[in-house]
Amino acid sequence: MTRSIAYPHEAPPTGASAALAAGLCAGLPRLETARLILRAPEISDFATYRTIAMSDRAGFMYSEPLDREGAWLDFTQCVANWLLRGHGLLTITGREDATVLGFVLICMEFGDREPELGWFLAQDAEGRGIAFEAAQALRDWGIGIAGLTSLVSYIDPRNDRSIALAERLGARRDPQAEAAFDEPLLVYRHHPREVPQ
């Protein structure tokens, strides 16, 4: 008999564990925009997460695309932020379709100096304003409801699309924060004043 699941740690929980996981997820914010739902991540979302993290496009997020183990560790680190810090990863889906379009996050990952607002999409979801809509909603939640005083977006200097998106969100470069890093990195700061009243 062959095992149907090649990676047991990626299988969804069952029984009492599934109920506990669902209860924890129910306590996380669910944000809705005109076109999108930002919801608690589910273990099945890792399929989309790893596709993004393991693709050549991930070079802007990491020094190089991750392998499957690295993608899993990154996914679980971002999910764990909810328990450790009160903010973390949300999955982006359409309001009319439950297909996972990408992810948006407020996280403090290893090496971060302060909470980071980040976004990354499945390739076929790009170019439709989804990242802007999702990031704007999570930024407003983070600063307006979660009580964070500011957020930063750490951006690879070669990532023209994320630079344009950060600027569209009203963020401005913070040279003092950039100086704290050894490698070339742009730090865009989102302040409370950018949040619509």
CATH number at residue 78: 3.40.630.30
Q: The whole model's pTM is what?
A: 0.91
Which range marks the domain in which residue 83 is found?
Answer: 30-148
Between β-strands 151-155 and 186-190, what pairing exists: parallel, antiparallel or unpaired? antiparallel
Q: Say what the pLDDT of residue 161 is.
A: 93
Q: Say what the pLDDT of residue 1 is.
A: 42
- Number of folded domains that form the chain: 1
Question: Is residue 155 assigned to a domain?
Answer: no
pLDDT < 70 stretches in the chain: 1-5, 193-197
Q: Say what the pLDDT of residue 159 is.
A: 92
Q: Say what the pLDDT of residue 189 is.
A: 97
Q: Say what the pLDDT of residue 171 is.
A: 96
Q: Say what the pLDDT of residue 186 is.
A: 96
Cα torsion 36, 40, 46, 52 to 10°: value is: 40
